[in-house]
Structure 1
Amino acid sequence: MLGAWAAWALPAAAQVTERPQTTPPGRVLMRIDGIRLSFDRSDAAGNTYDAVGVASTTLRTGLTETVDIQVGLDLFLRETIRSGGRRNSHSGIGDVAVRTKWTFWRDEKAGAAAAVMPYVRFPTGSGGMGSEAVEGGVIVPWAMETGAGFKAGAMFQWDTVRNDADNGYDARWFVSGFAIRDLTQTIAIYGEATAETRSTGFSESEVTIGAGVVWRLSKRLELDYELQRGINSRAAAWTHILRANWEW
């Protein structure tokens, strides 16, 4: 029974780090962040920044055994800034992103794989949310079985993002890694770390660590909760994410 479940279950992964496996041809994977809450720490002046995301959704379908295509949209975003005793909020839908994934390397004996994922994000947001220009980048995820019931993975991401002056683009570099282990047939736990920096300088860097639990409700449906902690002042102090992965 356990072997049959593993053959059909979604590949193990954490929330931020992409998995290198593609969605099989003829199937659709829907990934929904039911709710995402980010709470910033107060600065010396007592100013804070909080963010809420609801129903951020990605649809993926396989084109071949090694290539899939993905479309994502943030259905509701809200940002709240408290400064000098005043509160300013913006809310709306986010941008649309189109991505494709190519699993260019597999080692079945080691349970390892690697992929490349170019993407483009279009400025479709409303209410002051999202970017005001086309942005894009490339993601390279990797994962393997490491023994003792553990699986591990890592990801490198390079983005081009519109600069604050709106007269050009900055580069953003992002890395993440995770380790995950099944506790039972239906429950898994994982740890994950992320780091990012920008071409504008290391003062823009953000570092987080997190831990999560995956509950497999069936071979095609799972719930995933992760709590992330910001290590430095640029990162959000705490971020809660509740995600559902459903493949049919």
Structure 2
Amino acid sequence: MPNPYAWWSCALLLCMALPLTGQQLPVEAAPSQLDSPAYSLFRPVPKMRLRPMSTDRPDVTESAYSLDAGHLQVETDVVRFGTRRFGVNTSQEELALNHANVKLGLTSRLDVQLVVESYTRQTERPTNRAEPSTYRAGFGDLTLRLKRNLWGNDGGRSALAVMPFIKLPTGRSCGNRAWEGGVVVPFALQLPRDWSLGSQLQTTLIRDEDSGYNCVELAPTVTVGHDLYKTLGGFVELAGSWDTREQGRSLTVNGGPIWRVSDNLQLDLGINYPLTADTETTYFLGVSFRR
């Protein structure tokens, strides 16, 4: 059973941190952005009129802002390594390479996204070294997402979006070979003195591999943000999930630095640290770019 003091410690840490969430709020719309509804996939927004780049990574909390019409953005885990222990008998390691989110702006408020799990290697190691380890590796699942910004794309103190998604069971070795889907509702709020707040609720219909039945998973997150320097910042986030299974609960505190190399290029690295048992510890390095 998780230590209740860990929950309060994380809440206090979130309030004291000075992170950069990667979800910059355009408080006032520039005049050049006011006619953005005229742009589309086939009439791209000119580069000088682009909104500040907003990414769905590196935190779990998705951005409440959609991509500018007619532009492409790629956000990828260059490398991600995770490890966790199941009880006292087995541990699992997972290495992911180039798990990418490819985004295409369709209109001033709508973009389409394809999440590609390019390569995953999973290793299960028994505690008893006399028993052999098992390996699975290969191409993973594809996830198709459609983000619709409801308000705040071009200005205002808050922003809200809705993003339905569906997972295609293209992975054979590393996937659960099941169709899954759900919806994400991300929210962003500009606080006084250049602080910002981000949160979301994700609801997913998932398949339990052991029983073969579907169950509902709820995954809320919260993150607070503030620039440390003009191009350098960091993020701190609290992310949880639970479902209708008895053991389907997890809580992590996530964080790491972000470097905005240019208006269209961002680098990040970080850790997802577990606060509950049987939850994965994850280290990652990522890059995002827009064109």
TM-score (norm 2): 0.77
What is the CA distance between 1:15 and its match in structure 2?
A: 2.0
- The answer to whether residue 231 in structure 2 is matched with residue 218 in structure 1 is no
Query: Residues of 2 paired with 1:18 and 1:131: CA distance?
Result: 24
Query: Residues of 2 paired with 1:190 and 1:59: CA distance?
Result: 22
What is the CA distance between 1:87 and its match in structure 2?
A: 1.1
Query: Residues of 2 paired with 1:12 and 1:33: CA distance?
Result: 13
Which residue of the partner structure matches residue 135 of structure 2?
89
Structure with max Cα Rg: 2
Of the candidates 139, 144, 159, which is equivalent to residue 113 of structure 1? 159
Give the alignment's Cα RMSD to 1 decimal.
2.1
If each structure's helix is expressed as a fraction of its own residues, which one has the higher value?
2
Query: Residues of 2 paired with 1:165 and 1:191: CA distance?
Result: 34
Query: Residues of 2 paired with 1:225 and 1:129: CA distance?
Result: 24
Maintained 8 Å contact 2:59/2:235? no
Give identity over the alignment, percent: 23
Letter in 2 for 1:146: L
What is the CA distance between 1:171 and its match in structure 2?
A: 1.1
What is the CA distance between 1:172 and its match in structure 2?
A: 1.0
What is the CA distance between 1:42 and its match in structure 2?
A: 6.8
Of the candidates 4, 20, 24, which is equivalent to residue 64 of structure 2? 20
Name the SS for the 2:206 alignment partner. Answer: strand
Structure 1 residues 221 and 93: alpha-carbon distance in aligned structure 2, compared to 1, 3 A threshold: same
- The answer to whether residue 86 in structure 2 is matched with residue 39 in structure 1 is no
Query: Residues of 1 paired with 2:150 and 2:284: CA distance?
Result: 30
Letter in 2 for 1:176: T
Which residue of the partner structure matches residue 73 of structure 1?
116
Deviates more, 1:80-89 or 1:91-100: 80-89
Query: Residues of 1 paired with 2:257 and 2:226: CA distance?
Result: 10
Letter in 2 for 1:65: S
Query: Residues of 1 paired with 2:65 and 2:156: CA distance?
Result: 15
What is the CA distance between 1:106 and its match in structure 2?
A: 2.4
What is the CA distance between 1:44 and its match in structure 2?
A: 2.9
Which residue of the partner structure matches residue 35 of structure 2?
none
Structure 1 residues 40 and 163: alpha-carbon distance in aligned structure 2, compared to 1, 3 A threshold: closer
1:23-67 C-alpha deviation (Å, 9 max, x unpaired): 00011110111011112247434x211111110011111111111
1:193-248 C-alpha deviation (Å, 9 max, x unpaired): 110011112x2201000111110111100001121110011211x21111111011
Query: Residues of 2 paired with 1:50 and 1:230: CA distance?
Result: 15
What is the CA distance between 1:12 and its match in structure 2?
A: 6.7
Letter in 2 for 1:11: S
What is the CA distance between 1:168 and its match in structure 2?
A: 3.2
**Any stretches of 5+ residues in structure 1 without a counterpart?**
none
Deviates more, 1:117-126 or 1:82-91: 82-91
Maintained 8 Å contact 2:59/2:254? no
Letter in 2 for 1:92: G
Matched residues, number: 240
Which residue of the partner structure matches residue 282 of structure 2?
239
Query: Residues of 1 paired with 2:185 and 2:218: CA distance?
Result: 12
What is the CA distance between 1:121 and its match in structure 2?
A: 0.7
Which residue of the partner structure matches residue 18 of structure 2?
none
- The answer to whether residue 199 in structure 2 is matched with residue 154 in structure 1 is yes
TM-score (norm 1): 0.90
What is the CA distance between 1:166 and its match in structure 2?
A: 6.1
Structure 1 residues 169 and 12: alpha-carbon distance in aligned structure 2, compared to 1, 3 A threshold: closer
Of the candidates 124, 128, 146, which is equivalent to residue 100 of structure 1? 146
Name the SS for the 1:148 alignment partner. Answer: helix
- The answer to whether residue 198 in structure 2 is matched with residue 132 in structure 1 is no
Maintained 8 Å contact 2:59/2:255? no
Maintained 8 Å contact 1:8/1:220? no
- The answer to whether residue 218 in structure 2 is matched with residue 173 in structure 1 is yes
Name the SS for the 1:109 alignment partner. Answer: coil
